[in-house]
């Protein structure tokens, strides 16, 4: 390997703390500023460590695809292993590859299409009455809360089919916020030491135990029942590889991963999408015209509603829920002529890359047409679901779910933002506080 010229440039920051205060105050803003001022590879000093921010798509391809074996998941992801266990998000190496191969058939398009009916039913039963009630009463609707509850119900139906009892779903809804909050605090902690047993921590531990109880009871009941079915849990139970089937603990870890990744990210996407559409009347009018002309809304909507899908992709570009992709180098490497030492934290931020003026015209503008226009774009300039072998296994599930929920919602209702969209960067880029909307009937 050619001799590198040293470490990438970057701000000096405060003694020891580096840029930690700015990182905690506004991490997305800091990352964008760093790229604008220091280039596509920046060294950010943070509490005695270096974070290497990478924003060059060709180099991102090197890290995530060409030399992916040299880069494992970053420290932040590893800190939530207590919640997710050794599921697809956390596992590494040959074990991860085995699990990926076992789980992949459950996400084939034909099987996902059979889940579309469940997505429609949950949306029609749980969400559309809320829209109708808000339109009738004129009371503001908290979109963020509504989307979180809806997508959690959708992923529960997809995982467990119609077999999940209402009391179990309520237990999941009760437990998930505290468990997610705990995960956020763990990923943001500078120290790797276990958290102190504060009342907040003990509450989160009780919530995690309740979530574990529900998941294990559902796995046990499903194993005792008949084989078959189109829900994800049944497919995972029946999945067989060279080493046999998953045991109960591994099933638990995969279910927890799907719960977290399958509802929080889609809820954030839909909240941003509705806000962008409500804030751009001409774009919304075109979406409504497309919905009015469509034969129906369901599994084929990803194909039959191209403009709505372009809006979904544009929302993913500007507000990617998976806004950072942390990696850790295992061996010496070189990126853009700079040194990457073993153990270095390499941070890839879709939020930053999606705003890169070298790859996006008018990058801060919400312009869905860019996803309908012909033209070449670097394969790693748009990565809302990651890239390479560790790309999100549920990307097609999420896109189909977003199209169905958005299509059914906008078919007969119009949502208008009652304030700016404020996003909080944590494990995902999620709404900060209520996202209030005014709902009117079309």
121-157 confidence digits (pLDDT tens) = 999 999 999 999 999 999 999 998 899 889 988 988 8
60 domain residue, yes or no: yes
**Does some domain include residue 162?**
no
Q: By the 8 A CB rule, do 105 and 140 touch?
A: no
Higher pLDDT pick, 309 / 250: 309
Q: Domain containing 356 — which CATH number?
A: 3.30.43.20
Q: What is the structure's pLDDT at 192?
A: 61
Higher-confidence position of 220 and 41: 41
User: Which of 69-73, 153-157, 187-191 has the lowest average pLDDT?
Assistant: 187-191
* CA end-to-end distance (rounded Å), the chain: 63
174 vs 210: CA distance, rounded Å: 9
pTM, two decimals, is 0.90
C-beta of residue 425 within 8 angstroms of C-beta of residue 28: yes
Give the span between the Cα atoms of 225 and 218, in whole angstroms. Answer: 11
What is the average per-residue pLDDT within 323-350? Answer: 94
CA distance 89 to 390: 8
Closest by CA to 324, choosing from 349, 343, 301, 300, is 349
Q: If pLDDT is split at 50, 70 and 90, which confidence band does 95 have?
A: confident
The total number of structural domains in the chain stands at: 1
Q: What is the pLDDT of residues 6-36, one digit of tens each?
A: 889 999 999 999 999 999 899 999 999 999 9
Is residue 4 over pLDDT 70? no
Say what percent of the chain tops pLDDT 90.
51
Helices and strands of the chain, counted as H and E runs: 17, 12
Q: Bigger pLDDT: 136 or 95? A: 136
Lowest mean pLDDT among 128-142, 205-219, 231-245, 315-329: 231-245
Residue 25 counted as domain residue: yes
In a domain, 334, yes or no: yes
- Position 361 pLDDT exceeds 50: yes
DSSP 195: P
- 23 domain-assigned: yes
274 contacts 308 by C-beta, under 8 angstroms: no
Q: What is the pLDDT of residue 81?
A: 62
Phi–psi pair at 405, nearest 5 degrees: -65, -45
Interval 59-67 mean pLDDT: 96
Residue 346 lies in a domain: yes
CA–CA separation, 41 vs 333, rounded Å?
14
Euclidean distance between CA atoms 352 and 54, whole angstroms? 9
Q: Is residue 39 part of a domain?
A: yes
Range of the structural domain that residue 328 is part of: 1-84+323-365
Q: What is the mean pLDDT of residues 309-333?
A: 95
Nearest residue to 152 via CA among 267, 320, 229 = 267
Determine the angle formed by the axes of helices 306-318 and 281-293, rounding to 10 degrees. Answer: 140
Place of tokens 């930053």: 352
* Cα–Cα distance measured from residue 426 to residue 403, given in angstroms and rounded to the nearest whole number: 25
Evaluate whether residue 112 is within a structural domain: no
Q: Partners of 437 in the beta sheet?
A: 141, 417
Share the mean pLDDT of the chain: 87
191 pLDDT above the threshold of 80: no
């Amino acid at each position: 390997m050619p001799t590198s010229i040293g470490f990438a440039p970057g701000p000096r920051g405060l003694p020891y703390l580096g840029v930690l205060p700015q990182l905690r105050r506004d991490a997305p803003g800091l990352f964008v500023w760093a790229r604008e001022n220091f280039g596509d590879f920046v060294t950010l000093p943070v509490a005695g460590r270096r974070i290497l921010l990478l924003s060059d798509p060709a180099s991102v391809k090197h890290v995530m695809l060409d030399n992916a074996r040299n880069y494992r998941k970053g420290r932040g992801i590893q800190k939530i292993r207590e919640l997710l266990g050794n599921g697809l998000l956390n596992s590494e190496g040959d074990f991860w590859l085995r699990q990926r191969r076992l789980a992949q058939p459950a996400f084939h398009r034909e099987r996902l299409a059979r889940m579309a009916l469940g997505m429609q039913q949950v949306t029609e039963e749980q969400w559309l009455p809320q829209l109708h009630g808000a339109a009738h009463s004129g009371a503001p609707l908290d979109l963020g809360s509504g989307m979180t509850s809806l997508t959690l119900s959708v992923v529960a139906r997809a995982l467990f089919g119609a077999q999940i009892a209402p009391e179990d779903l309520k237990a999941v809804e009760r437990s998930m916020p505290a468990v997610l909050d705990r995960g956020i605090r763990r990923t943001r902690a500078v120290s790797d030491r276990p958290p102190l047993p504060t009342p907040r921590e003990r509450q989160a531990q009780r919530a995690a135990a309740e979530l574990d109880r529900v998941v294990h009871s559902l796995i046990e009941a499903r194993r005792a029942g008949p084989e078959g079915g189109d829900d994800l849990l049944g497919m995972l139970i029946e999945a067989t590889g060279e080493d046999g089937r998953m045991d109960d603990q591994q099933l638990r870890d995969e279910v927890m991963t799907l719960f977290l990744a399958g509802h929080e990210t889609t809820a954030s996407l839909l909240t941003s999408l509705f806000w962008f559409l409500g804030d751009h009347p001409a774009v919304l009018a075109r979406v409504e015209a497309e919905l009015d002309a469509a034969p129906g809304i369901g599994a084929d909507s990803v194909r039959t509603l191209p403009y709505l899908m372009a809006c979904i992709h544009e929302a993913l570009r500007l507000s990617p829920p998976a806004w950072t992709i942390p990696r850790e180098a295992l061996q010496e490497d070189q990126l853009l002529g700079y040194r990457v030492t073993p153990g270095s934290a390499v941070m890839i931020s879709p939020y930053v890359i999606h705003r890169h003026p070298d790859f996006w015209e008018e990058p801060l503008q919400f312009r869905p047409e860019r996803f309908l226009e012909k033209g070449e774009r670097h394969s790693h300039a748009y990565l809302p679901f990651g890239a390479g072998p560790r790309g999100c296994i549920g990307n097609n599930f999420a896109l189909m779910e977003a199209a169905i929920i958005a299509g059914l919602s906008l078919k007969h209702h119009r949502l208008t933002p009652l304030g700016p969209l404020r996003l909080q960067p944590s494990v995902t880029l999620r709404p900060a506080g209520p996202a209030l909307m005014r709902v009117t009937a079309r």
